[in-house]
Every structure is written in C-alpha cells, then in structure tokens.
Amino acid sequence: MGLPTDEVARFDVVAARFCGLVRGTTDWSAPAPVDGWVARDVVEHLVTWLPGLLGAHGVQLGAAPVDAGPVARWEAHAVAVRDLLADPASRDRLVQDPHFPPMSLTQVVDRLWTTDVFLHSWDLARATGQEPGLDPEHCLELLAGMEPAEQMMRSSGQYGPRVAVPEDADPQTRLVAFVGRDPAWSAPPT
C-alpha cells in the first residue's frame, strides 16, 4: 500500500481520509484522546496552526470561515492548502525557521501539516467511533523518521510520553503509541 511520494498527491489522500472522518462525525463535543480536547478541537487545531506558521513567513493562506461549523471550516481550509501546494512557486519558496531545517514551502506543508492531519485522523476517528484506517506503510515511514528525533520531539511539548505496546504491535498502534496516545483509548460512555 503506502501513500504517494509526491507531496500534493499525498496531501490529497490524507486530506480526503480526514474529510471523510469529519463528514462522518455526528457529535462534535465527543471527548478526544488529546487531554482536554473534544472532536471539534481536533479540526480547530488543524485549521488554525498552519495559517499562523505560514503567516510568520509572509505566506497568506485563505482562512476557514470563523462562523462556520467544523465541516465547512475543514473543507475551506483543505481547499486553501491544496491551492497552495498546487502552486509551482511553493516548491521554490524557501522557508527558514529556527525550529526546523530550511525547506521549501511544499516540504513544510507536507512534513509538518500533512503529517499532523494524518496523525490527528486517529484522534478524530477514536473520538467519534470511526475506523482510523491509517496506512500501515506510512505509519512505518513516519516512525522511522521520528524515532531518531525522539528527544527533540518530546522536549517540544507537542508529544506526550511514549506508550508501551507489544513489540509485535501493528504499525498504526506503534505510531500512535510513539506520539503519546494510548492505542487502547476509547471515548467514555455517554
């Protein structure tokens, strides 16, 4: 299986999967696996942090309508990100930030945001009783890239402690445990 290697194509697959989860959500106040978050917060996080990061580098990303619900906010944001990625100038624009090595705007969106959408797909799916269905090969690729940077990642405060799982756990379980989620987490009964 695996995801496409092209950043735009990879975005399309990851964003479409997340869009399906967003559209399948019926309770936006359902608790999520991130402490203090509900399902709505997962979407809100994804539609707000990238515009802030890019804005700090002079890149304006179309804003998701503030007064819209999570589905409309996600869909508008995904279109804006897709338009940015499809712009050939994004491959040539260098982003220099003290928190990561210099890379193109396309690489920033792919490595940071598309990866975040992929990871948070698990959160939204678990919060709303849907199947996460994370691509196993991509889970292994992410793990291979993250494990050497574990200390830096944990010190950022963006990831919780690694959760212990059996050595023979499937790739999705290993990845979510690595980023600090309890793979056995389920929403409390209502």
| pLDDT digits 0-9 by tens, 22-61 | 999 999 999 999 999 999 999 999 999 888 888 888 888 8
SS3 112: helix
Which domains, from first to last, does the chain contain?
7-134 (1.20.120.450)
Task: State the average pLDDT over residues 105-109.
Answer: 93
State the chain's mean pLDDT as an integer: 92
Task: State the average pLDDT over residues 118-140.
Answer: 96
Structure tokens at 106: 């396309």
Task: State the average pLDDT over residues 10-14.
Answer: 96
pLDDT score at 157:
78
DSSP summary character for residue 114: I
pLDDT score at 2:
86
**1 pLDDT more than 80:** no
Residues 6+ apart with CB under 8 A from 164: 177
pLDDT band, very low/low/confident/very high, at 62 (cuts 50, 70, 90): confident
Q: Which residue has the higher pLDDT, 67 or 115?
A: 115
Taking 3-state DSSP, the helix, strand and coil percentages for the chain, each rounded to the nearest 5, stand at 55, 5, 40
Residues 145-179 pLDDT 10s:
999 988 888 887 788 899 999 999 999 999 999 99
In angstroms, rounded to a whole number, what is the distance separating the alpha carbons of residues 4 and 11? 9
**190 pLDDT more than 70:** no
